[in-house]
Structure formats: structure tokens, C-alpha cells
Chain A
Amino acid sequence: MRIKAITRLLFTLGFITWLVLVFMDLTVQVSLANNIPPEVPSWLSGLVLNLFILSLFYYYKLKIEKDEVLNFVDLLWRVFATGLVATVASLTLRLIEYLLNDTKLTTHIVFKDLNYMINLGLMISFLIMAYSAWKRLILYQKSKWLLRLWAFFEIGLLISLLYDSFGIQQIEWSYIAFLATLITVALILSGNMKWVAFLNFRQKWTSLLLLLLTVFYLLYIFYTNSTLAEEIDGQSAYFTDYRTNVFVLSLIVFVTMYAMFSFLVILFNLPTTSVFEQKLEEVVNFQRISQSIQTEQSEESVYNILLETSVSSVFADAAWLEINGTTLQKRVFTYKITDKESQDIINHLNSHNIKGVFDQGSEKTKNLSKHLASLKGSRFRSILAFPIYVKGENIGTLALLKELPEGFNKEMTKIVGTFSNQAGISIENFRLMEEALQNERYKEELKIAKMVQKSLLPAVLEQDEDFEIAAFSQSADEVGGDYYDTLRINEHLVSIIIADVSGKGTTAAFHMSQMKGIFHSLSRKDVEPDEFMRQANQALIHCLERGSFISATYFVIDTALKTVRYARAGHCPILYYCSEKKSFEYFKDKGVALGMVRNKSYANFIQAYEFPYRPGDLMVLYTDGITEAKDIKSEEFGYERLLETVKDLHDLPARGVQDHLISKLYEFSGTDNIDDDYTTMIVKFSSTKTPETEHFGKLKDKH
């Protein structure tokens, strides 16, 4: 809004100064005609003229330079429109003069001067308008140097205003030198025509017309003004004569010159416009191929874009794209050619033992046109083949065809060569992205597997008046295969399992879930621990793959008999604290892991054991992730350190033992992010109750 107000103000100011100028000039003429010495000093009219010029200058500056939306043709159109208005106004004056033909009025100096002043005003505003427009065109692609030159030119024009207003034109040599300098600079500036290149064919024609008319208007207005000035010059000795005004003259030369140059440049550019447009299209096509990686859904789209862009860039009549792919099956994408036709050409070239089109060993693009001459019945006379590379591997060939002989030039070869390279890169990127997505999917799957595995572990453990159980399990980044669980069989029987599936990842989690199924179905049936293992082994040998096994220990705590019956199938030995002996020991018992013996003879390798428990006893169960945890020096946590760690903890509740053990483990390994699955389960037999059982017996082999 502020700019709008200022432009209006400037316009009003320009109009008023013009009126003042006209009034002053007329007063002078009237005074001179009546032989009275003019009262208006000559410098004043010069000053008013400068004011008029400056206000118009800033008016157009704001109107043209600040308008971001204007394109080149719009600018030219504005100049043309201003010229049209000025010319029409001038012609109207001429018509009035003609109508009042040779009356006293028309020959009167005052009328002539008024006519001249109006024309002068029109000319100056037209010139300044054009000047502003040209400035924008010249500075469309600016360099530091150009901006400096332009600033020099504008300052020169400003000085010329001062120079003119003080009427120093008497000093002839400085006048000529000044004018010459300004015109030289204007000439140099007129060489900046970069905007022309950005016009398309249609815009160029429009611009030509507009510029031609603009030049015509300019010439007409110059002619009108100069004849009028001459006529007045003959009658009056003193008037506002633009012909000695350096500013106006420089502007006339600059504006006309630039208009004519532009006209000529556009005219000579017309025949090559199609080339420029084609180049631009190539750039756009190139971008399309590059962007296709982000936007397209499949490799097919990239192939299709490559085909389209190549064809349109070299004006090919037909094309095909053969992709080898990873499978042996070749895929052919065709454009304006039937599969049969393309196959005929391929066969023809192959039968003539011509290498290049489908010889994947060829590295360079080949022009195979001469070989087509011998193929009868084909409408094509030119063929060009391009290999497409992805990661240095030739994945296919692009063939372009023309009905004209010698239809491809070097330039086209280069362009399509670049396209096929870019397409190769796009496809490579595409494949990389596919891979990344695939990896992401795997990670997602692993996450799900890990969640499933977590959910396989019980949230709540069975508790009893006689004992309490605490458990802790952590798996590595991948899915782990540690499993523990408890199940109440009846009022006085509780079963416990701790297991470790060999291997990691989804298969381990899968086997773990099988183990859970086996545990929940078998233990409900109240089978003895050794029988549990036998049946579990029988069930597992059908699902465990070669080399996979599960180590497990299965317990049944009998609170009626105050005994623990268990079978150990290759799992880490139980660490037991006997409150009577007041010492820890590892149970040395026998048992082969599940899945190692894949027949009924497994029964020979598993045994059940039984021992009575006493209040205050402590059972530490764990997986090898704990004993095999390493410190910085790659030393293992080991069985002895495990025993040392829990040695003094026999008075703590189960949870306390567990927390202490885990924190010691972290302390040892120096991290709480151990890259393995590790699980511990602590069973603490309550010390509150008075012992009722007989003394802690030796391990009793049931068999």
C-alpha cells in the first residue's frame, strides 16, 4: 500500500512539474513574442525539467522494477503500450493541428510551443518507461561487473541532469565528450541480451512484433519532436530545447539502440530457438530420469522414462529397451515398434554376427545403421544402440531407430549416452533403496520376533509358601533363545523350566516357542522329569534342524514331600546352597541336551535326580550367557566367579540375589549391554518355616 501511494504521488508530482514546465515555457514564449525580457530565469526551467524527469524516473522504477510477476513479453508489452499511448496522443495533436489548418492560431509560437511541450512530455515519459524496462532486461543475469557498469551509467545520467540544468552546454568539447562517454557505455550495456535465450518460439515472435512497433513509435516521436523543435527554433530564441540536453539525447540513443539490438538478436535467434528449446527439454528430461528414483514405484517406470526421453530427445521413430535382469528371461520394452519387428532386427543383426546391440560385452555405444541396409522389409534405416550399466554390470541395451538413413548425429549419441548412464544410476539407486527397504523390513520382522519372544516369557512366576522365585532375562540385539517358565501342577507340585536354544534369531525364538508348548502340555500331565525330557526330545527331533539343540533343566518341586526332582538335559549345572552344610556347590549330574540324540536311545542319556530341600536353601539357575560373559580382557565370568558372587548372598531374598548377581555381572563386563542372551532364575526356599524334612541327602539316582 505504501508503494502504491508513493507511485501515485510520484505520478502527480511528474504531472504537476510538467504543467509548471509548460506554463513557464509558454510564459517565456509570450514574453518573447511581446518583446518583453522573460522573467523566468533559464536555470529554473532546467530545474523543473529535472524534477519532472526524476519523478517519472522513480515512478517507473517502482512500477517496473519492483513488479516481480512481469515476464519478458509482459515487459515488452508495457513498453509497447506506453509507446502506443504516446503515439496516439501525438497523432491526436497532429489531427487537431490539421483540422485548424493554417489558422492564425496554429502558426502562433505559443500554440506551437504547447504542442511541442506536450510531445516532449510524452517522449520523455516513453523514454524513461523504456529505460526502466530495458534495465530489467539487461540486469536479468547480472554479474558484478555488469552491476558496476550500470551504476556508472545511471550516475552518469544523473550528472548529465545537473549538467543540463546549469546550462553549461556552451563549453562545446565537454558536452561532446560527456555525450560520447554515455553513449559508449550505453552501447556496451546494450550487448546484454541473455534474456532472449529464455524466450520460446512463440514468445520470440511476439517480442519481435512488439519491439518493431516500439522502434516505430520511438522513431515517430523523435521525428515529431525534432521537427517541432526546429520550427520553434526558427521562431524563438529561447525555449526548452531537448536537442542540447545530454540526458535526453543519451536516453534516446540508449533506448533506441537496445530496442533495435534486441529486435535483431531475436530475429537471428529465431532459427536456433528449436535447438535451445530442445536443450531445455533435455535438461528437463534429464531431471525426470534423476527424479524418477524418488517418485517412481518400480524399475519399469525408470525404463519407460528412459525410453520416452531418449526418443523425444533425438526424434527417434521407434525404440526398444532390452533388460537382461537377474533372471534368464529377457524383458523388452518397446516404443512405436512391434515385438516382431524388433525381434526381426535383433535376429538379423545376430545372424550377421554383428556385435554391439545385444552383445553385453560391448562397452561403447554403437551406430549400427550400416547393417540395417541389408535387412529387407524393415522401414528403419538407422539404428543406435546403448549399453546400460548398473554397478559396472551391463543390465541391458537401449536401441533407437529412425526411418531416415544416417539419422543420428554425434550430438544425439552423446545426449542419449548421458541418459542411459543416468538411467543406470537411477536403477542402481532404485535397487539400493529396495535393498534398504528390505533390510528395514527384516529389522521390523526381528523386532516382532523379539516382541514375540518377550511375550513367551512369563510375566508372573509361581510362588509358594515354601519358596519364592525371581528371574531375569535379557537378549542381545538379535532375538535370543533363552526360556524360563513355571507352572503349578497341583496344590503341592510346581514345575520349573530353564532352557537355552542353540543359535540366535528368529529360528531360536521359534524353537523357544515350541519348548514353551512342550513345557505347558507335558508338565500339566505330571510326568517325572526324566520322562519329560524323553518326551520333549521325541517331540523336538522332528522340528530341530541339523546341528540345533536345546539345553534345559526341568524341576518339579514337591511341597508335600519337601523334595525337588529334576532332570538336566545339557543345561548349565545347578548352583545350590545348602543351609545345613552352609556351602554352595555345583551339582555334578549327567544329561544330554535335547535334540542331540535323535532316536529313542535318548532315554539312556537322561536321568532324574531328587534331593530334599530345607528352608534357607538357595538354587541359582542361569544360562551360559552369564558364565560366558567377557570383560575387556576377554576373560570369562566363569563358574568360579559366579560362585564367589553369590557366596555371601544366601540370606537375601530371591530378588536380592538376582539384583546383586546382575549388577556384579555388569560391573565385570563393564557394560549393561552384553551382546548375548543371559538369563538367571533364583529359587529361594523360605527360611521362616521350621525345617521338617530329613537331612540333606546325597544326590539320588532314581535309576
Chain B
Amino acid sequence: MIHIKRLQEDGADIIALIGEIDASSSIELDLAIAKSVGEGFNKILVDCGSLDYISSAGLGVFMSYIEEFKDRNIKMVLFGMSEKVANTFSILGLNELLEIGKDKAQAKKIVNEL
């Protein structure tokens, strides 16, 4: 089960993920990101502070946007990951493909630098 909250700060869209992302709830994540893009945001911050678990399907969602974002010059930064979730990202090598910040402040900094 995942609960997704969105709020806007300094022109960036912050998507907060609360709960677990498995095969079925990954669709919600996909929709949330797609909606944010659809609304014209080019700075997307994903708050993983309350993300307890992410399955490969959930990782697949992030992965599927990498190229599209690169082409459209949309910046996405993930932040606030627990060690366990961060480990899941790094095992797959996604930490090399995605921008991951420690906290919101750092994430904002990264997104503005990019």
C-alpha cells in the first residue's frame, strides 16, 4: 500500500511516498510522476523519507523515466531514503542513474544545479 502526497515548493513538485511500493502500487507512483510531468513541472523531488519498501516494479517506474527526463530536460531528485531502500537502489545500480540527495535541502540544491 502506498500513499502519495504532492506539494509544490519553489517551483519544484515534491512527491512524497508513504508506505510500500509493490507491483500493484507501482502503478500509482507511475501515475503521480506522469501527472507531475503533465502539469509542466521540470523539477521533481521525490520524498522517500516514509518509503518502507520498494519492489523491482517500483524501481522500474523510476528507471522508465530516466531517458524521457533527459530528453525533455526534466530534473528528478530522490531524497530522504532509509538505508534499506537506498540499498535496493544501489544494488540495481540505479543510484548511478538517478540523482539521490540526502535530504530535502540537498535535493533542492542538486535540482537547481542540474
For A340-376 the 0/1 string (1 means CB < 8 A from B) is 0000000000000000000000000000000000000
Say if the beta carbon of A570 comes within 8 Å of chain B. yes
Chain A residue contacts of B59, Cβ below 8 A: 502, 549
Known: A504-B23, A605-B97. A598 touches B67 (CB 8 A): yes
> Residues 541-565 of chain A: 1 if any B CB is under 8 Å from the residue's CB, otherwise 0?
0000011110100000000000000
A573 interface residue per 8 A CB criterion:
yes
Most buried by A among B59, B61, B92, B93: B93
B4 at the interface (CB under 8 A from A): no
Nearest CB of chain B from residue A666's CB, rounded to whole Å:
22
- Nearest chain A CB to B102 CB, angstrom units: 20
Residues of A near B96 (CB, < 8 A) are 590, 592, 605
B105 within 8 A of A: no
Which parts of B55-90 form the interface with A (CB within 8 Å)? 56-57, 59-61, 63-64, 66-67
Categorize the interface residue count of chain B.
10 to 19
Q: Cβ of A504: which chain B residues have Cβ within 8 Å of it?
A: 23
Closest-CB distance, A602 to chain B (whole angstroms): 10
* Residues B57 and A503 in contact, CB atoms below 8 Å apart: yes
If over half of A's interface residues share one DSSP class (helix, strand or loop), that class is named, otherwise mixed; here it is loop
Task: Specify the main secondary structure of chain B where it touches its partner.
Answer: helix
**Given A547-B63, A549-B60, A570–B92 Cβ distance below 8 Å?**
yes
Cα-based distance from A551 to B97 in the complex (angstroms): 15
- A490-527 CB mask vs B (1 if < 8 Å, else 0) is 00000000001011100000000000000000000000
Q: Which of A503, A590, A624 makes the CB contact (< 8 A) with B93?
A: A590
Contact with B along A13-31 (1 / 0, CB 8 A): 0000000000000000000
Mask of B27-71 contacts with A, CB within 8 angstroms, 1/0? 000100000000000000000000000001101110110110000
Q: Are B67 and A592 in contact (CB under 8 A)?
A: no
Question: B23 touching A547 by the CB < 8 A rule?
Answer: no
Whether B97 contacts A549 by the Cβ 8 Å rule is no
Chain A: minimal CB distance from B52 (Å):
9
Q: Cβ of A469 < 8 Å from any Cβ of B?
A: no
Which residues of chain A are within 8 angstroms of B57 by Cβ–Cβ distance?
Answer: 502-503, 547
B56:A597 contact, CB within 8 angstroms: no
A548 touching B60, Cβ below 8 Å: yes
Contact check, A593 vs B93: say whether CB atoms are below 8 A apart: yes
Q: Is the CB of B91 within 8 A of A573?
A: yes
Measured in the bound complex, the distance between the Cα atoms of B56 and A596 in whole Å is 12
- Cβ of B93 and Cβ of A592 under 8 Å apart? yes
Find out whether the CB atom of A593 lies under 8 angstroms from the CB atom of B64. Answer: no
Bound Cα distance from A668 to B76, whole angstroms: 38
Task: Check if A183 is an interface residue, CB within 8 A of chain B.
Answer: no
Which residue of B23, B91, B97 is within 8 Å of A597 (Cβ)? Answer: B97
A305 at the interface (CB under 8 A from B): no
Q: How far is the CA of A591 from the CA of B97 in the complex (A)?
A: 11
Residues in A neighbouring B110, C-beta threshold 8 A: none
Does the CB pair B56–A605 fall under 8 Å?
A: no
Cβ contact of B63, chosen from A503, A572, A596, A624, cutoff 8 A? A596
Which of A500, A596, A605 has the most chain B CB atoms closer than 10 A to its own CB? A596
Q: Decide: B60 and A502 in contact? CB cutoff 8 A.
A: yes
Tell yes or no: B94 within 8 A of A by CB: yes
How many angstroms from the CA of A639 to the CA of B61 in the assembled complex?
Answer: 25
Given A592-B97, A624-B56; A549-B92 close (CB under 8 Å): yes
Residues from chain B with Cβ under 8 Å of A590 in the complex? 93, 96
CB atoms of A596 and B61 under 8 A apart: no
Known: A504-B23, A596-B66, A605-B97. A549 touches B91 (CB 8 A): no
Question: Min CB distance, A133 to chain B, in Å?
Answer: 75
Cα(A87)–Cα(B59), bound, Å:
103
Q: Which residues of A contact B94 (CB under 8 A)?
A: 570, 592-593, 596
Q: Is B93's CB under 8 angstroms from A605's CB?
A: yes
Q: Please state if B56 and A503 are interface contacts (CB–CB under 8 Å).
A: yes
Complex Cα distance, B59 from A592, in Å, reads 12
Assess the A502–B66 pair: CB atoms within 8 A. Answer: no
> A571 contacts which chain B residues (CB < 8 A)?
91
> Chain B residues near A624 (CB, 8 Å)?
56
Known: A596-B66, A597-B97, A605-B97. A551 touches B23 (CB 8 A): no
Contact across chains for A547 and B60 when beta carbons are under 8 A apart: yes
Name the residue on B nearest A545 (C-beta): B64
Give Cα distance in the complex from A502 to B96, angstroms: 19
A502 to B58, CA, bound (A): 10
Interface residues of B (CB under 8 A from A): 23, 30, 56-57, 59-61, 63-64, 66-67, 91-94, 96-97
Complex A-B: 23 CB contacts under 8 Å? A502-B56, A502-B57, A502-B60, A503-B60, A504-B23, A546-B64, A549-B59, A549-B60, A551-B56, A569-B93, A570-B91, A570-B94, A572-B91, A592-B97, A593-B92, A593-B93, A596-B92, A596-B93, A596-B94, A596-B97, A597-B97, A605-B93, A624-B56
Additional A-B contact list (5), CB under 8 Å, known A547-B63, A596-B94: A502-B56, A548-B60, A569-B93, A570-B93, A596-B93
Q: Which 4 A-B pairs have the closest CB atoms?
A: A592-B93, A547-B60, A570-B92, A547-B64
Interface residues of chain A, those whose CB is within 8 Å of chain B, are: 500, 502-504, 546-549, 551, 569-573, 590-593, 596-598, 605, 624
